[in-house]
Structure 1
Amino acid sequence: MRCRFSIVTFVLIAPTFASEALGTTTDIRSITCSEYLAMPATPSGKFSAWMTGWFSYESRRTFVDFDLHRANVTNVRGWCQSNPNASVMVGLEKSIGVTAVPNATLDFNKITCGTWLAYGPADQDFVRYFMSGYYNAAASNSVLDYERLQRNSSAVVAYCKKNKSRTLPTAIQNRAS
């Protein structure tokens, strides 16, 4: 199924993620636990970050909690091993719910472009995927269009390099389509 995003969103989905795990467009709700468990480490981590962003929106959280994310990944992977044919979305709802209490308070609305660009590659990618999941959930959209996401991510990075004091959500609103 092909679908275009109806709101501003961005993410850079690495070619390995698209080619090894998913197609050009993918309905994230259709990913089964067995597919998730079979993903190589890098695509699995990016998928997990996207899902964390999705559920953060669903629970109205505007912060990133790396420790909660790691705990949730462990819980979902455990649930998925017993339910290989179930949707990962169902696994998230059943194994962690959307009411888990966070410990960290890194409010993504306060992350500046300069701060984000200074993150290490893994943390920068985590925030990219988290934000994409968050904005997709806001649009009630579970379909990723990788080509569009790559274009939007490039535009946001270029904007951020020139506007380091702006917040990341401002960059997304100003540059992603």
Structure 2
Amino acid sequence: MRCRLLLLALILVSSAFASEARATTADIRSITCGEYLAMPAAPSSKFSAWMTGWFAYESRRTFVDFDLHRTNVASVRGWCQSNPSASVMAGLEKSIGVTAVPNATLDFNKITCGTWLAYGPADQEFVRYFMSGYYNAAASNSLLDFDRLQRNSSAVVTYCKKNKSRTLPTAIQNRAT
């Protein structure tokens, strides 16, 4: 019975992250460690970036640190191994703490559209999900809406291609809904 429940949870979570083209949302607060650990690599990466942005806002950090992100993901995954029924949010709070101050140097308020467009696809995607998590935390919204994120991303890319010297937050504020 437990195996069936875990399989059902995996299917539900995987389908929530499987395709951004479908009308899909996921309440981030409800994702358990077991579900997170069972996610395929691509959805897990997106989820992790979104959560990193969420906690950056909660701790009033305005920077992007790719290395710190990887370290934190490893820490949370380790904590989740021992706590599969706990929420990932609880794991993040215990593993990294919302008040931790890392040695980051990339303030996202200073990332220009041109710089962001020059990032490789994986780094662009990380920043996209990070910023979504950040702004959703600012709105006290724990719902990750893939359709909305995709629409906003397309609008921001279009804006950035025409306004490369503008900052990414300016592009998001001018184009995201």
> Deviation of residue 69 (structure 1)?
0.9
TM-score, reference length from structure 1 = 0.87
Alignment-mate amino acid for residue 19 of structure 1:
A
Instruction: Give secondary structure in 2 for the equivalent of 1:144.
Output: strand
1:99-114 equivalences in 2 (<5 Å): 99-114=99-114
Give the structure with the higher percent helix.
2
Residue 18 of structure 1 deviates from its aligned partner by: 2.8
Question: What is the identity percentage for the equivalent residue pairs of Structure 1 and Structure 2?
Answer: 85
Contact conserved, 1:17 with 1:42, CA < 8 A, in 2?
no
Q: Separation in 2 of the partners of 1:125 and 1:80?
A: 24
Deviations for 1:51-73, whole angstroms, at most 9, x for unmatched residues? 11000000000001112111111
- 1:100 deviates by 1.8
Residue aligning to 1:5: none
The number of residues matched between the two structures is: 162
| CA 1:123–1:101: 2 relative to 1, 3 Å | same
The CA deviation at 1:17 is 6.8
Unaligned runs of 5+ in 1: 1-15
Aligned partner letter, 2:149: L
TM-score under structure 2 length normalisation: 0.87
Which of 1 and 2 has greater Rg?
A: 2
- Cα RMSD between the aligned structures? 1.8
Shift of 1:101: 2.1
Matches within 5 A, 1:26-65: 26-65=26-65
| Larger RCO (alpha carbons 8 Å, 6+ apart) | 1
Taking the aligned partners of 2:98 and 2:142, their CA distance within structure 1 comes to 17
